[in-house]
Amino acid sequence: MTTNPGTPVVLDTPEVREALAVELARQFGARAIQIHSAQRLSGGAIQENWALDVEVEGGEQAGRQRWVLRTDSPTSVSVSLGRRQEFAVLSRVVHAGVRAPKPLLLVEHSPTLQRPYFLMQHLPGSAAGHRLTRDPACVPQPKLLLEDLAQSLANLHRLTPQAAALDFLVEPDKPAAVAAIEEYRAYLDSLAEPQPVLEWGLRWCELNLPEALPARMIHRDFRTGNYLVEQGRLSGILDWEFASFGDPREDLGWFTARCWRFAAPEREAGGIGALTDFLEAYRRAGGHPVEVHELSYWQVMAHLRWAVIALQQAQRHLSGQEVSLELALTGRLLPELEIEILHLTKEGSS
């Protein structure tokens, strides 16, 4: 039993589960594996994630296990890492002290799924941004969660291109902000309709370009909604498909951008707590000292990036490449992002 690589993976049928169990038993050197349940996890527009409840007979993984299988969606984004690369990134960052799911097995050629996938540790907790930022019971002590997040981010940002030793991640040959401005402008120039607010934001970023920091490994999607919280503490950081080398302040700007604060826009640190608490925790954990005023620039860049992604996803829907309500609704975010760009550039103008 195999699946078509151009369609979503369906693991909640007995035939696919049985075939996958045989494949995994062979990969793990187990006598047998039984997949009791396979549940599609929410999120993951670019990758699919399935929670597997399994029983393993024999081998190093013997016993009842909870795994997450991560594989490609039918459509992908060219700048995202492949599964082999993401598996290697996860292995490296976990070793560096970042709280993230431990990768367990990489399968690059799957007879069952007809696409690459990897298995990783299933971690407890919730990643629902609207719930984490709305319900005080989820995060009873925001400072503690911010300290956890800051520590993992500082550990990640200690990885230089040489220390990371991931040959598929290329050290940038120009400052990250300069490269981003060029990329976004090239995309806007390709559109039939003008985007004056985004062009304004790009020009503002050119005129206010900060001095670049040495390149470090960054997550590039570090935000509320992409990490798990269990009993108020960080369980693990998810979704590493955009990891690269760049300016560590990009991660800080993305995390603190208004567009990722969900139900609590007044809490600048990811909708969780105070920005000053987060930046101080990041500094104590060994991160580069960053002042509050410095982040305005990187928050503008964050909103520009998200606006470009929103336009791209809307185009995918409107062109018929992938008809999707989620993609269509993402395109509707553009006015909110433009308002925030205008607000930030007005405040930050010299």
Look at 5-9, 209-213, 321-325 and tell me which has the smallest mean pLDDT. 5-9
Query: Cβ of 266: how many Cβ atoms within 10 Å?
Result: 8
233: domain CATH number is 3.90.1200.10
pLDDT of 75 over the 80 cut: no
Same-domain pairing of 139 and 117:
no
Closest CA to 272 of 264, 280, 282: 264
Helix then strand count (H, E) for the chain reads 12, 9
Same-domain pairing of 299 and 168:
yes
How much of the chain, in percent, has pLDDT values that exceed 70?
Answer: 93
Which of the pair, 6 or 150, is modelled with greater confidence? Answer: 150
Same-domain pairing of 277 and 191:
yes
Residue range 56-65, pLDDT digits in tens: 999 999 999 9
Total number of domains constituting the chain: 2
Q: Answer whether residue 335 is part of any domain.
A: yes
What pLDDT does 44 receive? 54
Q: Answer whether residue 7 is part of any domain.
A: no
SS3 343: helix
Same-domain pairing of 211 and 268:
yes
Q: Answer whether residue 2 is part of any domain.
A: no
Which of the pair, 189 or 323, is modelled with greater confidence? Answer: 189
- Rounded-to-integer distance, Cα 7 and Cα 178, Å: 37
For residues 265-294, give the mean pLDDT.
97
For residues 160-180, give the mean pLDDT.
94
**Which of 121, 154, 178 finishes a domain?**
121
pLDDT of 349 over the 70 cut: no
pLDDT of 6 over the 70 cut: no
**Which of 99, 121, 143 finishes a domain?**
121
CB within 8 A of 14, min separation 6: which ones?
none
**For residue 300, is it left (φ>0), alpha (ψ between -120 and 50) or beta?**
alpha
Kindly report the backbone phi and psi dihedral angles of residue 217, in degrees, each rounded to the nearest multiple of 5, phi listed first. -70, 130
- Rounded-to-integer distance, Cα 254 and Cα 176, Å: 14
Same-domain pairing of 195 and 331:
yes
Q: Answer whether residue 254 is part of any domain.
A: yes
**Which of 121, 139, 160 finishes a domain?**
121
For residues 290-298, give the mean pLDDT.
96
pLDDT of 3 over the 70 cut: no
For residues 297-322, give the mean pLDDT.
88
Q: In which domain, by residue range, is 100 found?
A: 14-121
What pLDDT does 72 receive? 85
Same-domain pairing of 66 and 169:
no
Same-domain pairing of 117 and 134:
no
SS3 66: strand
Same-domain pairing of 244 and 291:
yes
For residues 106-127, give the mean pLDDT.
96
Q: Answer whether residue 1 is part of any domain.
A: no
How high is the mean pLDDT of the chain? 92
What pLDDT does 350 receive? 46
Rounded to whole angstroms, what are the CA distances from 6 to 38, 156, 163?
20, 34, 37
Residue range 249-276, pLDDT digits in tens: 999 999 999 999 999 999 999 999 999 9
94: domain CATH number is 3.30.200
pLDDT of 327 over the 80 cut: no
Report the relative pairing of strands 233-237 and 117-121 from DSSP bridges.
Answer: unpaired
pLDDT of 329 over the 60 cut: yes
Same-domain pairing of 213 and 295:
yes
What pLDDT does 195 receive? 97
Residue range 221-256, pLDDT digits in tens: 999 999 999 999 999 999 999 999 999 999 999 999
Residue range 8-58, pLDDT digits in tens: 678 878 999 999 999 999 999 999 999 999 999 976 556 899 999 999 999
What pLDDT does 316 receive? 77
